[in-house]
Amino acid sequence: MRGDAYELMQAALFEDYRRLKSTQSMERKAEIKREILPKYADYVDGVLEAGQGAQDDVLMRVMLWRIDAGDIAGAVTIARYALTHDLNPPDQFERSTAAIIAEEVADQGLKQLDEEGADVLALLKQLIDAEIMTRQADMHDQVRAKLFKTLGYAQRAAGQLVEAQSSLERALALNDKVGVKKDLERIERELKQQNAGDQGSPQNGA
């Protein structure tokens, strides 16, 4: 049964992949992915529940499409399974699964932070999940720096300035061209102002 379902999904994937290849607009590609992803949802749920850990190109492609479509939470669910079972990305990717997750989630996260009405706390949780699950993996420092940069920006947007400072410092240590120096200086100024304000206010319960 698993074999039949896989073959059916692989055939559907081939058709969808061909449709996406013939589309040049990245915005339109993301729209198509949002449109086609629901048809793979039951298959993905079945694979994750069965937990057999076999290499699965359909699952890995859906993981990547979910990121591109803005469904970071859905992608992270697959990523956790993929990393647990050492699944490889589709053939044309030269990076490891962990590096792809770190970089693609970071890029999508930055995009979402720029959008009006972004759910910052939900995004922050997804970025923390991505960082934790890829923490022990070997990857280029620039890729990991990108993830810490996005994490820091999400923490800043959530008002977590101390955590944001720590994440951006980590990003800078990994890649001094990551582009966070001015943001770090701004956060340091804000923290100093906060501390000065705290010291100037009367102590409660004294």
Whether the model pTM is above 0.85: yes
Question: What are phi and psi for residue 128, nearest 5 degrees?
Answer: -65, -45
Residue 1, pLDDT above cutoff 70? no
Amino acid at 18: R
**Which domain range does residue 150 map to?**
97-197
Last residue of a domain, one of 48, 71, 94: 94
Cα(48)–Cα(35) distance, rounded to whole angstroms? 22
The answer to whether position 205 is within a domain reads no
Task: State whether 90 and 120 are in the same domain.
Answer: no
pLDDT tens, residue by residue, 37-70: 999 999 999 999 998 999 999 999 999 999 999 9
Task: State whether 44 and 17 are in the same domain.
Answer: yes
Task: State whether 108 and 189 are in the same domain.
Answer: yes
Task: State whether 90 and 111 are in the same domain.
Answer: no
Domain count, the chain: 2
Band of pLDDT at residue 90, cut at 50, 70 and 90: confident
Cα(36)–Cα(73) distance, rounded to whole angstroms? 17
Last residue of a domain, one of 94, 119, 145: 94
Mean of per-residue pLDDT scores for the chain: 92
Residue 151: which residues within 8 A CB-CB, separation 6 or more?
106, 109, 124, 127, 128, 131, 167
The answer to whether position 202 is within a domain reads no
Residue 77: which residues within 8 A CB-CB, separation 6 or more?
48
Task: State whether 82 and 114 are in the same domain.
Answer: no
Last residue of a domain, one of 40, 73, 94: 94
